[in-house]
Amino acid sequence: MKHSELKKLKFRAVSIETIHFFFVIVILAGCAFNSTVESAIGQETHTNKLVIYTDRGKETISRNIYGHFSEHLGRCVYEGFWVGEDSPIPNTRGIRNDVVEALKKIKIPVLRWPGGCFADEYHWKEGIGPRQNRPAMLNTHWGMVKETNAFGTHEFLDLCEQLDCDAYIAGNVGSGTVEEMQDWVEYMTFDGDSDMANLRRANGRDKPWRVKYFGVGNENWGCGGNMTAEYYSDLYNRFQTYVRSYSGNRIVKVACGPGSVNYHWMTVVMERCHQRMDAISLHHYVRGSGDWTIKGSATKFDEKEWFALMKNTLTIYPLLKDNIEIMDKIDPQGRVDLFVDEWGTWWDAEPGTNPAFLYQQNTLRDAVSCGIFLNAFNKHCRRVKMANIAQTNNVLQAMILTKGEKMILTPTYHVFEMYKVHQDATLLQVDLDCGDYKFGDEKVPSFDVSSSKDKSGKIHISLCNLDPSNPTDVSCKLLGTEPANVSGRVLTADDMTAHNTFDEPETIKPAVFSDFSLNGDMLAVKLPAKSVVVLEIK
């Protein structure tokens, strides 16, 4: 073979190898590119799978899960509820009308009073009779301010009647006596001839009130006396003996349970007292930090603090599970109820206000946290029969903020208004397979859900998207029903710090939601970022 032909042959072989190598590289690169694209698309369009068994419900979601809590703390009672008969603010017997009407719109079922820490230094006899004759006291827990006792037993029970809700009274174990507690119950509920009943009549109330719930102490492991579980159990058994049901009024006796994770307290009190209680309490507050001593601003925060609150709020699930397991072991018949009678977010007081008054603003972040809490209570309604958010007006995660004659509704109020459809409805079983909301090296489920069916057969689904930046798709199968119509409402905003002010009271409020489609029993939903959505299915 000539040299020139050999050279051409070698060149052709090299060219073929080069071309082959080039195609291999292209193919591999293409595969890698496709893999990357598929991964990216998968992250962006991840469809969460939700199954709702519309015919499997058996437990009822008690309306009292949507209860409230008011303490003699800051401006919760005074200005929040009470303005006095001579106030230019429209009122009924001293109780402001606008607040009453707002709470009636969310179907307030039960109101807890007078505390909180204040309960275990409150002496009820100082709060009855002509107001000008009532002695003042020092509110040592909340700012060392003068408590006038202008708002007492008669005023509180009048408020409950105006609200058409049940009364839940917290009795004084920390600094009170057995006789004092016994007299209070008799004063409020006895219809016969006795010194206490006649004293009530002399103070203007002939017929007794119906007082359904009575707490024997509050946070007695802390501000209510710094007691051990063993010591409190002995006191509970003693005090509750004299909390009697008079004249057809049947009182539900509530023992002081733990604050957040204190399983020793729950175990000891349940073991020693469960036969003499009807319910036991649980308190749980959350913040945007892993350090309980750091609260942070209610309105000035970044995604790190947003994520921390979502993560901390989700701790309500294992907390309920673990406490209910203790209760189930000691009380397998399920006779004793669990009342989460203080819960919510806790931030630094608003700048320029008395830090002891715990006045804080309320943003979309609080609203999403609230939705998670309520979903958790709904899903544990076998034992959780009451919950009371802290607090109703002007304190902590309030429903309502007031400033003189002005009143605004917070994002948390709007969640309660949207979720009121769950009251006394049947809890529906749900199965959820969802993606994660990631921040840094941590992650939490991207959304949270609960569902119920009301007495008319309407199904409601409450969904919270925890991710503040990304919408999420939800593919929901409605087993056991043939839905004909779907409607929805959403609470969200462009800014995670969105909140209502007295100058702009409607910055954030519910709106019509329609980003869904129905195909047979399949419901496809796109949840907006940082949102609370409630769907109604007929």
Residues tagged active-site: 219, 342
Compute the Cα dihedral for 104, 108, 114, 115 and give only its sign.
negative
Q: Find out whether 217 and 252 touch, Cβ atoms under 8 Å.
A: no
**Angle value at C-alpha 333, between 331 and 339, nearest 5 degrees:** 60
Q: Find out whether 283 and 479 touch, Cβ atoms under 8 Å.
A: no
For tokens 């006596």, name the residue: 177
Helix (H) or strand (E) holding 90: none
For tokens 């009855």, name the residue: 128
Q: What backbone phi and psi angles, to 5 degrees, belong to 493?
A: -165, 165
Q: For residue 274, give Cα distances in angstroms to 261, 409, 535.
A: 19, 39, 39
- Which two structure tokens, joined as six digits, stand for 500? 């209502």
Which DSSP letter does residue 424 get? Answer: T
Whole-angstrom distance between the N-terminal and C-terminal Cα of the chain? 88
Q: Find out whether 499 and 410 touch, Cβ atoms under 8 Å.
A: yes
Q: For residue 98, give Cα distances in angstroms to 30, 35, 286, 361.
A: 66, 59, 29, 19
The whole-angstrom separation of Cα 438 and Cα 303 is 11
The whole-angstrom separation of Cα 462 and Cα 513 is 12
**Angle value at C-alpha 209, between 206 and 212, nearest 5 degrees:** 165
